[in-house]
């Protein structure tokens, strides 16, 4: 983080709506994000507590078998939060980091979605499946098994900027419909290759001749399932993913993750007065680690809070342009754009309510 001062929210970049993993539509369920008024409806003759303002990030270590939508609903319920959303779908068959934004943190979701992702995944050789994972129907088989040397020699072809055809079962829209919906209806979907960037791809383990374990760090829009499919095709042995774990999403790594059981236990302790839910939250600005920070005076903060631009002048004026996040007295105020000697607010934050504890905030300094 770069901290500057001045005498005195940029519009976040559009996130990729296509998840890195397969986005399987969950069964119809109650919309947890629907606005409510007044008290919650009674259930089992017990009134639900009112929703409250909660601001920050929870990086859930999502268990296998849970959809991203279900995970958001669980975290939102545990915190009794008014607003919640996630920063990138994680397949139900996958485990690992699912960053969940609560309250004002939802304004920073695109910055996380645009960040790098890191995965550890296992490929099963000998079968290609229509979903490119264990859920699908077998479409091709082979008795060949690749050697370690053959795999390692091939990996440079899948590193850097490459063209990738997304899986048939993906969230990409084709003439207004999701590709996975068309595929489930038996239609053959012709998806065009898309440029993606693979920063690192390594073979980390070969437990037996039929399985290989990889680690990949990639940019947005990359389908790990497609990597397994394409590597298997070139090697002539075919393959599909049989295990997948996400270990990094933007600024959030494994040290930030909290298992669901641990989060539920923390919430139980907090309800009995033995702890605080703030200990499970990371600050809203954690999502903005790659953006310069600009500290302003309280007078200029008041103008920005009203949506008014602030002139940047004098020797303390920042020597930069573009997107910054603005703080006042060490507290996040806004996302803004510097240009033509002005600081123009684009997203203003109202952090009244439950926020991350000072201890969690200091962890990121």
Tokens 């090697």 belong to which residue? 235
Q: Identify whether 91 is a catalytic site residue.
A: yes
Cα dihedral angle (31, 33, 37, 38), rounded to 10 degrees? Answer: 90
Q: How far apart are CA 88 and CA 111, in angstroms?
A: 11
Single out the catalytic residue among 16, 53, 61, 91: 91
Contacts of 138 (CB under 8 A, 6+ apart): 127, 128, 129
- Give which of 63, 111, 62, 53 is closest to 83, Cα–Cα: 53
Q: What angle do CA 276, 278, 282 make, to 5 degrees?
A: 150
Q: At 320, list the tokens.
A: 């930069």
Q: How far apart are CA 363 and CA 294, in angstroms?
A: 20
How many other CB atoms are there within 10 angstroms of residue 14's CB atom?
Answer: 9
- Cα–chain-centroid distance for residue 232? 28
Contacts of 227 (CB under 8 A, 6+ apart): 158, 164, 198, 201, 214, 216
Q: At 88, list the tokens.
A: 């990138």
List for the chain the helix, strand, coil content (%; round to 5): 25, 35, 40
Burial of 331 (0-12, 13-18, 19+ CB in 10 A): middle
DSSP SS3 for 171: coil
Q: Where are the alpha helices (DSSP H) in the chain?
A: 68-79, 109-113, 148-154, 179-184, 224-235, 260-271, 298-305, 358-363
DSSP SS3 for 234: helix
Q: Which residues are catalytic?
A: 91
């Amino acid at each position: 983080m770069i901290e500057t001062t001045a005498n005195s929210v940029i519009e976040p970049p559009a996130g990729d709506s296509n998840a890195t993993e397969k986005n399987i539509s969950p069964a119809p369920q109650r919309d947890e994000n629907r606005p409510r008024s007044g008290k919650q409806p009674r259930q089992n003759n017990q009134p639900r507590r009112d929703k409250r303002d909660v601001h920050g990030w929870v990086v859930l270590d999502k268990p296998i078998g849970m959809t991203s939508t279900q995970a958001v609903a669980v975290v939102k319920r545990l915190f009794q939060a008014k607003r919640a959303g996630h920063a990138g779908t994680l397949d139900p068959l996958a485990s690992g980091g699912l960053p969940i934004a609560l309250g004002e943190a939802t304004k920073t979701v695109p910055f996380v979605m645009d960040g790098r992702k890191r995965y550890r995944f296992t490929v099963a050789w000998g079968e290609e499946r229509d979903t490119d994972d264990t859920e699908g129907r077998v479409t091709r088989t082979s008795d060949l098994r690749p050697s370690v040397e053959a795999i390692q020699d091939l990996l440079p072809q899948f590193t850097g900027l490459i063209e990738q055809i997304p899986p048939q079962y993906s969230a990409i829209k084709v003439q207004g419909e999701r590709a996975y919906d068309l595929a489930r209806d038996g239609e053959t979907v012709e998806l065009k290759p898309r440029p993606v960037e693979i920063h690192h791809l390594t073979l980390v383990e070969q437990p037996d001749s039929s399985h290989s374990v990889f680690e990949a760090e990639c940019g947005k829009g990359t389908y790990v399932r497609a990597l397994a499919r394409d590597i298997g095709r070139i090697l002539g042995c075919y393959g599909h993913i049989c295990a997948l774990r996400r270990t990094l999403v933007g600024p959030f790594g494994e040290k930030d993750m909290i298992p669901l059981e641990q989060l539920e236990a923390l919430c139980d302790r907090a309800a009995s007065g033995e702890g605080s839910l703030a200990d499970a939250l990371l600050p809203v600005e954690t999502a903005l680690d790659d953006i310069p920070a600009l500290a302003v005076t309280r007078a200029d903060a008041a103008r920005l809070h009203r949506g008014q631009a602030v002139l940047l002048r004098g020797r303390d004026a920042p020597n930069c342009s573009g997107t910054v996040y603005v703080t006042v007295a060490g507290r996040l105020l806004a996302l803004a754009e510097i240009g033509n000697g002005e600081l123009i607010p684009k997203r203003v934050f109202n952090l009244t309510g439950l926020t991350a504890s000072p201890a969690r905030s200091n962890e990121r300094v």
